[in-house]
């Protein structure tokens, strides 16, 4: 039940800021959890999930960072990987980690 509530609150908070591709990646992370994305979300993974070109994937990921949905993992550079900033519910809302 907490998972469903967390997902609902996430989309209430960010849904209107996402383009048509971004919810596909977010839904996949919610479905698989952090363990399913061990090592983070890379541009190539995003491309595969959303079926978009590399430049679009990079732009989408940058947009998600800008609105606080994902955060870059240490290491950066051309191989920057990201993780969802908000996944597990704390209380009745989503809290940034």
Residue 43 neighbours by CB under 8 Å, 6+ apart: 54, 57, 58, 61, 80
What is the model's pLDDT at position 75?
82
Give residue limits of the domains in the chain.
19-85
What is the model's pLDDT at position 32?
82
What is the model's pLDDT at position 92?
38
pTM: 0.80
Per the structure block, which two tokens stand in for 27? 């839904």
| pLDDT of the chain, 97 residues: tens digit per residue | 566 777 888 889 899 999 999 999 988 888 887 677 778 899 999 999 999 999 999 999 999 999 999 999 988 777 899 988 865 544 434 444 4
Nearest-CA neighbor of 62 among 49, 43, 75, 79?
Answer: 43
Domain 19-85, CATH:
1.10.10.10
């Amino acid at each position: 039940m907490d998972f469903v509530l967390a997902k609902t609150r996430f989309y209430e908070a960010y849904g209107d800021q996402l383009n048509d591709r971004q919810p596909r990646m977010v839904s996949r992370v919610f479905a698989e959890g952090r363990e399913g994305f061990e090592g983070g979300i890379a541009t190539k993974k995003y491309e595969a999930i959303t079926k978009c070109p590399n430049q679009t994937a990079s732009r989408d990921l940058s947009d998600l960072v800008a609105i606080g949905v994902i955060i870059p993992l240490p290491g950066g550079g051309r191989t920057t990987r990201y993780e969802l900033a908000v996944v597990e519910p704390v209380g009745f809302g989503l809290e940034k980690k």
